[in-house]
Amino acid sequence: MKKIILLLVLVLFVFNCNSKKESKDTQINHALTKKYEPNWDSLSKHNAEAEWLKDAKLGIYFHWGPYSVPAFGNEWYPRNMYLTGSKPNKHHINTYGSPEKFGYHDFVPMFTADHFDAENWAELFELAGAKFAGPVAEHHDGFSMWDSEVTPWNAMDKGPKKDVLGDLFKALEKRNLKTIATFHHARNLQRYKDSWENEIKDSIHRRSFRSSHYPYLPEFQEIFDDPKYRLLYGSVPEDEWNEKIWLGKLKEVIDKYKPDIIWFDSWLDQIPETYRQQFSAYYLNAAEDWDKEVVIVRKQNDLPLEISINDHEKSREPKALKELWMTDDTFSTGSWCYTDDLVIKPTDKVLHALIDAVSKNGILLLNISPMSNGIIPDNQRKGLLELGKWLKINGEAIYNTRPWINAAEGPTAEPSGGFKDHKKFLGIEYTSKDIRYTVSKDGKTVYAMTLGIPENNEEIILKTFASENVKVKGVSTLSGASYPWEMTDGGLKIESKNNGNNYAQVYRITLDK
């Protein structure tokens, strides 16, 4: 009798568990079929340009993972260490030994993140003036920076033994900052195994297989295919990988962490369209349940602009666009991740990029590069705090503004070639003659910003005011002190005085409407 009762209890327990699981699954499925279907016509109902993002202007993210441990070259070290004759390959052999003996997976236990402090990082990002922030959730290397059930190669189970994304999101949300998770994992799948014999194997370039982060190299394939490592190296059948890995990781982060922005790096075009549609519907339907305005950001033409924001890597628009756009750029002059020889830009370079982007209806997503132990180097902290100090004084001209009738005037023009011109963008030197404009949302106040500090009593001529026949009521600092001014045939003439700003000076111009 006791055995029968015990059996009945066990059956009821299993039934109850399954019922709860089915109920949960039903709730999720119901939520994900509420408004958006996985096709572009249905998804185009989504408003890609969230109002809060139009107001936010500045976000911060960071490239940080096991690739930060060698601190050499850049964040592509996991790939390049396997390419015979490359600088990272030579460095790896001299420092760690042959890649056959010491593979990328061996860096994971060395990625300790001992000094990672989510509260401290969130406070720093807030002080820097960011309105949203978050990590590179996963780079091309296959290591997830959250507590994942999809892959054992994640920051909770290995390396730091911390839920980096989750802990940081909690700290950011306490400060009312929005959250971003960036995904670069479309490149992680090891493609082209079947076409190896059709590819000429006569050079590193031809062997690199551009769309796969870990190239198919027979000498390393035994390691890549090892069941312990295959999910790190992307050595998975493509159909399984698209469904369970690429899409599965996205769904996991959506369900567990509810990011305000999901941002994609290049190579999203390597993912079949049907999976891109499934992701978009899943995320947007989930956001409906959360009652959140969420944003999808992509590069190139990998998703329709009707549902996403376009991103320019290390480059900006030469003129204002009607649609909102984003640029991802880094505080360094080179690598996105920390390296021992990392060179940090002066703060004025970063601030001028922000002002230029905002004047043209853009958003700046600024990257920093923590060390593998979780320390944000002092020179990067200093730059972030200097940026935040300027924004605390002058943020009225940046946050909650919109593009004016003219975005820019002055002698310095931006290249129009996008990322291929990123070195030209790096070399731009603005002066006080380069002016960028924004306008308040009510259209009553124009902000003119000089990308450099004028000399005391230097005359600033704002030509747009003449060409557009704009009527002016007054000119002042943001603290309310008046500037001498007059309207001339050449434009609005202001007698400048240095009001204590560094890097860029702001003039508040009240319009006579």
Residue 275 has pLDDT above 60, yes or no: yes
Query: At 193, is the pLDDT very low, low, confident or very high (cuts 50, 70, 90)?
Result: low
- What letter would DSSP give residue 57? -
| C-alpha span between 419 and 422 (Å, rounded) | 5
pLDDT of residue 513: 79
Q: What is the pTM of this model?
A: 0.91
pLDDT of residue 420: 85
Residue 199 has pLDDT above 60, yes or no: no
What percentage of the chain has pLDDT greater than the value 70? 90
pLDDT of residue 38: 97
User: Residue 317: what residue type?
Assistant: E
Residue 32 has pLDDT above 90, yes or no: no
Average confidence (pLDDT) over 40-60:
98
DSSP codes joined into one string, 477-495? -TTS-B--EEEETTEEEEE
Residue 386 has pLDDT above 50, yes or no: yes
CB atoms within 10 A of CB 314: 18
Q: Which residue's entry shows tokens 């970063």?
A: 350
pLDDT of residue 205: 41
Residue 157 has pLDDT above 90, yes or no: yes
Q: Is 355 helix (H, G, I), strand (E, B) or coil?
A: helix
For residue range 72-119, list pLDDT tens digits in order.
Answer: 999 999 999 999 999 999 999 999 999 999 999 999 999 999 999 999
CB 482 within 8 A of CB 473: no
Q: Is 367 helix (H, G, I), strand (E, B) or coil?
A: strand
pLDDT of residue 223: 95
Average confidence (pLDDT) over 3-19:
45
Q: What's the chain's average pLDDT? A: 91
pLDDT of residue 467: 87
Residue 378 has pLDDT above 80, yes or no: yes
For residue range 418-437, list pLDDT tens digits in order.
Answer: 888 888 989 999 999 999 99
pLDDT of residue 27: 38
pLDDT of residue 8: 44
In CATH terms, the superfamily for domain 40-69+111-188+243-395 is Glycosidases (3.20.20.80)
**Topology (CATH level 3) of domain 430-511:** Immunoglobulin-like (2.60.40)
Residue 165 has pLDDT above 70, yes or no: yes
Query: At 209, is the pLDDT very low, low, confident or very high (cuts 50, 70, 90)?
Result: low
| C-alpha span between 244 and 237 (Å, rounded) | 11
Residue 207 has pLDDT above 50, yes or no: no
pLDDT of residue 21: 42
